[in-house]
A and B are shown apart, each in its own frame.
Chain A
């Protein structure tokens, strides 16, 4: 049946998520970042308190993503953190950036800032690494931590909207499949009922 043109409903799915759902996704991202940071600090504390199994599991897990060179790491309770100072800075910056994200940008916005900011955020870290690599200057724990934290904080401006958009896409696909399955089930029931009616059951 035709409808009047003023009753037309656009068929494009809006690219915004409901604020409540976006906040839930943001909360999950923040919790994951804080959990990672907590694991980094937990490893040396667990080792100091003779929980070797837990400590070595954490060290072994982070061994995949970081060189864990003790002289390049912060120390807690007499043992190095599970990752180096630069990685600690990246994770800390990322966690801080994610936590303050709703204060800086609308949580429903899924567009990312211009890529220029991401590339600019890489510059201090690259300079800090390059100067030491070329033996022009010896970087310190603080310089590695700060340059890593800056990159992590800026990266959060790209990661948070991206993951919220991912949750929206997954939610839309899930709802579409659920509705399609429900419609197919209903159609089968109606066909079955009409077939029974024809047979005279």
Chain B
């Protein structure tokens, strides 16, 4: 397995599952929190396992892979879970807002009613581009998480691997004359 795959898989599974579980995925309301954290986890694990300093591009690459895995898990696991518990979650959020601001709570409740009264075909039509957009956002934010992980956790910056030394000049340098020395006396 490619050395970047294992951290990406771990980060992707964590971000996908946490984004899929209803009520736990509320953290994503803070700028896709789980996606960024999943990308950062993948980047962190990659940095820990790497013997050479990791560049931001490599961190971003690990983040992209983690985001792609997380997006697939979100679509496959999260969508059906969301459909089952979506109404309960929206009712909970609406009641929280209603307690703080009855006017805004009422506005949100009316928005929910409009969506629920939409025909099923229209709801599916609005769900498909929304789902693709969310998958793209997960990948984007996980990428950002991966490169931010390098910015925050990579302490070996500036310690790039030195290039190998050039080979010695032909016929020269070493005691005893090296490869060509033996012929010199013939």
- Mark A residues whose CB is within 8 Å of B: 2, 4-5, 8, 10-12, 15, 52-53, 56-57, 60-61, 63-67, 69-71, 87, 90, 110-112, 115, 118-119, 155, 158-159, 161-170
Contacts and interface: CB of A to CB of B under 8 A. Distances in A.
Interface in B98-117: 100-101, 104, 107-108, 114-115
Given A61-B134, A66-B31, A158-B148, A166 B61 contact: yes
Contact of A65 (B107, B108, B114, B141): B141
B173 to A, nearest CB: 10
Contact of A71 (B60, B101, B160, B170): B101
Contact of B125 (A53, A63, A87, A162): A53
Contact of A8 (B30, B59, B167): B167
A56 B150 contact: no
A166 B64 contact: yes
Contact of B28 (A61, A65, A69, A119): A65
Contacts of A10: 163
B163 A158 contact: no
Contacts of B164: 11
Nearest to B167: A5
A10 B165 CA distance: 9
B144 interface: yes
A53 B122 contact: yes
5 contacts: A65-B29, A65-B31, A69-B97, A115-B152, A158-B147
Contact of A61 (B104, B130, B143): B130
B147 A163 contact: yes
A158 B154 CA distance: 13
B161 interface: yes
Interface in B4-35: 28-32
A118 B133 contact: no
Nearest to B147: A162
A7 to B, nearest CB: 9
B105 to A, nearest CB: 9
A115 B151 contact: yes
B60 A165 contact: yes
